[in-house]
Amino acid sequence: MALDNETFELMKDSVTRFVRDRLVPAEDTVEQTNEVPEEIIQEMRDLGLFGLSIPEEYGGLGLNMEQECEVIHELCKASLTFRSVIGTTVGIGSQGLVMTGTEEQKKQYLPRLASGEIMSSFCLTEPDAGSDAASLRTVAIKDGDDYVLNGTKRFITNALRAGMLTVMARTNPDKKGASGISAFLVDPKTPGVTIAKADEKMGQRGTKTSDIIFEDARVPASALLGGAEGQGFYTAMKVLDRGRLHLSSVSTGISERIIAEALSYAAERKQFGTPIGEFQLVQAMLADSQAELFAGQAMTLDAAKKYDRKEEIAMLAACCKMFTTEAAGRIADRAVQIHGGSGYMAEYKVERFYRDVRLLRLYEGTTQIQQLVIARNMLKSLAN
């Protein structure tokens, strides 16, 4: 499943133009209003951005992982908030359905997700279950032909915009670990589902995250993802493996933009009668950032190609996510440093990007969780 090269290149060029002509000029508005303008969301629909990863037979573009990574890298040369609007629908919110949904479930949701008519959210995290995802407490108890959901989900991106929630809940409360967890496709308008107000965050203004509270929310048995109980955690882990490649491209895209900001400032800003880019200590910062960007892009595309060849990538995706997000943090820090006092001022975009990229090292698995996944896989390969 992939777009042919020529069509793909045309598509990628249109994203590059969209970023340059529409998204970058709208960045300040988004920062000031904490909203993404509706006309920009409509243009994202028109470009097919909500359907990047959804198979063509369900109305999406059907990109393979390598192509998705390339497009996401391009898109993330603008404020990360824009990517966040499509992020859950392209990635973690829909991919459980694409991977394991029944034909009926796919037909019910995928065409509307692909067109952007509805958006999706991935509901795993809870107040007491973050890194330790398998300890989640939301329950879905079978009652006749239905399941009844109770519990609270936290930090759910796009919950306020979503028309479909992929919810991980414990169908077997007696089984404490992963195997008691199932996944459900839930309409947020279901009675008993409350989406809380948007969280106030450090950065990425315009992104919307919120709690979701389930109070005796009744869903039909047909909402059980794949029609099989006990598979929810494993599906979530596979979705996150894939999502970590997507996020690596988010990190490399914004890193490239931040380096461009630092480079143009270094070329223009004069001190001691010389552009500061002529100074070797500034050059060292630029060079370190460029090398880290190159490394991050190369490893992400390499792992994405392996994913497309259906190779096992859990460890590689964790390596990519850890490296590229940590690198983005260093790159943003150096960009602020190169800007000097101006780098601390809201007038220059590196101040905003510095705050925005801080999230990359936290969501979809902290750096420490990536380290744990990498080391566990190393030890497992030794045992085999």
Active site residues: 364
CB-side neighbour CA atoms (13 Å) of 140: 27
Distances in whole angstroms, Cα of residue 281 to Cα of each of 76, 277, 285: 28, 9, 7
Q: Is 218 in the site for ligand COS (CB under 6 A)?
A: no
Amino acid identity of residue 110, one-letter, is L
Q: Is 18 in the site for ligand COS (CB under 6 A)?
A: no
DSSP state, residue 19: I
Q: Which is nearer to ligand COS, 240 or 286 (CB)?
A: 240
Residue 156 forms beta bridges with which residues?
A: 210
Q: Is 303 in the site for ligand COS (CB under 6 A)?
A: no
Task: List binders of ligand COS among 337-366 (CB under 6 A).
Answer: 363-365
For the purposes of burial, counting CB atoms within 10 Å of the CB of 263, is it exposed (0-12), middle (13-18) or buried (19 or more)? middle
Nearest CA among 87, 72, 176 for reference residue 364: 87
Print the binding letters for residues 312-331 with ligand COS: x by CB under 6 A, - otherwise.
Answer: --x-----------------
Residue range at the interface with ligand COS (CB under 6 A); choices 19-27, 117-125, 203-211, 262-270: 117-125
CA atoms 331, 200, 195, 31: torsion sign: negative
Kindly tell me which residue out of 1, 24, 134, 141 binds ligand COS, with binding defined by CB under 6 A: 134
Rounded to a whole number of angstroms, the minimum distance from the CB of residue 263 to ligand COS is 32
CB-side neighbour CA atoms (13 Å) of 146: 9
The pair phi, psi for residue 123, each rounded to 5°, is -115, 90
Q: Is 306 in the site for ligand COS (CB under 6 A)?
A: no
Q: Is 124 in the site for ligand COS (CB under 6 A)?
A: yes
Most distant CA atoms of the chain, gap in Å: 79
Q: Is 125 in the site for ligand COS (CB under 6 A)?
A: yes
Query: In whole angstroms, what is the distance from residue 3 CA to residue 9 CA?
Result: 9
- At 44, list the tokens: 């994202």
Q: Is 368 in the site for ligand COS (CB under 6 A)?
A: no
Q: Which is nearer to ligand COS, 241 or 256 (CB)?
A: 241
Size of the site for ligand COS (CB under 6 A): 22
Q: Which is nearer to ligand COS, 87 or 277 (CB)?
A: 87
Q: Is 252 in the site for ligand COS (CB under 6 A)?
A: no
Q: Could you list the residues that contact ligand COS (CB under 6 A)?
A: 122, 124-125, 131-134, 178-179, 233-234, 237-238, 240-241, 314, 363-365, 369, 372-373
